[in-house]
Structure 1
């Protein structure tokens, strides 16, 4: 009986602890851009990853959704706080206060939910069009460009929902938008 139990434990450990993870990794390497976050290179320089959110915190950039994993692609996950959790409420209140400090012309009711809550993975590279429009005045002022010019750029970067069904109807890939901003309207004092 003991031998059968140990054989089962070792077999299970080898199958699910070694062979299965290695096979999934090998399959992922056949599609390296998908499995490795889809690296984005500009002029041979790695600028970020298409499938992993980046942290942007300065005024001339559009900011990503908050991340409960500090934008660490090796440590995905949400906070797991439920909507009635007091820690979650405090976290959201803090994010609202920060956004209102950075956008004094706005009210709390103007803030889209995706700017104060993280995604399930903590790494969503997209924000809603409404979240981008909320930030538009700050970015335009910091870049010294018109809001109309920036709105045209937002419209070019707007994507539909996944398969037309899932998620917000209109989203924007933050990193790609910020890369275009840097290319077309470079900062004189970054």
Structure 2
């Protein structure tokens, strides 16, 4: 027993120092040298109002809609629903989202709706949608705001973020920034 006790105490002490002291300090240091000093990003509007750059609720016809959120965009409780794709309750939620989307976008076929508009993100806070998810909403917004479709297509193209290093990840659009730019259109 004595031969195992001393190494166990030493290992526990070393891991305690590493995982409760050194590692958190290393992560804090990396955050401090990252953009915005690890404090997150805010988006400022032309009228000086600041928004936190996480997913936001947009459900008006005159705005691009965000991804759904299992946590109602509450950053204190980030998370997904953790329901299986064959769960009856989950399937009912997805069908309701499809129905709501098709009610507001009658020209869209059910099979053309991008998956990111009807499913929630893993964190529930994702501020981005796919380019296709933005494009499929253009007709509704153009009608609601009285803006030419071509101008909205141009706005979506301007707001499209390219993959990291040109190859890592898909193209995406930050919905908050897109809607702020939409409000700034004359």
TM-score, normalisation: structure 2: 0.79
Change beyond 3 A, Cα 1:158–1:27:
closer
Change beyond 3 A, Cα 1:33–1:9:
same
Report the number of matched residues. 182
Partner residue in 2 for 1:96 = 98
Partner residue in 2 for 1:39 = 42
Deviations 1:35-61, CA, capped at 9 Å, x for gaps: 332111235421332xx2222111111
5+ unaligned residues in a row in structure 1: which ranges? 186-190
Deviations 1:148-190, CA, capped at 9 Å, x for gaps: 111111111122233444443x3212111111111124xxxxx
Helix, strand or coil at the partner of 2:162? strand
User: Partners in 2 of 1:10 and 1:58 — Cα distance?
Assistant: 55
Helix, strand or coil at the partner of 2:73? coil
5+ unaligned residues in a row in structure 2: which ranges? none
User: Partners in 2 of 1:159 and 1:151 — Cα distance?
Assistant: 14
Partner residue in 1 for 2:62 = 60
State the Cα distance separating 1:9 from its structure 2 match. 7.8
Larger strand proportion of the pair: 1
Write out aligned runs for 1:114-133 (5 A).
114-133=116-135
**Alignment counterpart, residue 156 of structure 2, candidates 150, 154, 157:** 154
Partner residue in 2 for 1:179 = 180
User: Partners in 1 of 2:63 and 2:156 — Cα distance?
Assistant: 13
Helix, strand or coil at the partner of 2:44? strand
RMSD: 2.7
TM-score, normalisation: structure 1: 0.78
Q: Which moved more, 1:83-92 or 1:54-63?
A: 83-92
Which is greater in Rg? 2
Contact conserved, 1:33 with 1:39, CA < 8 A, in 2? Answer: no
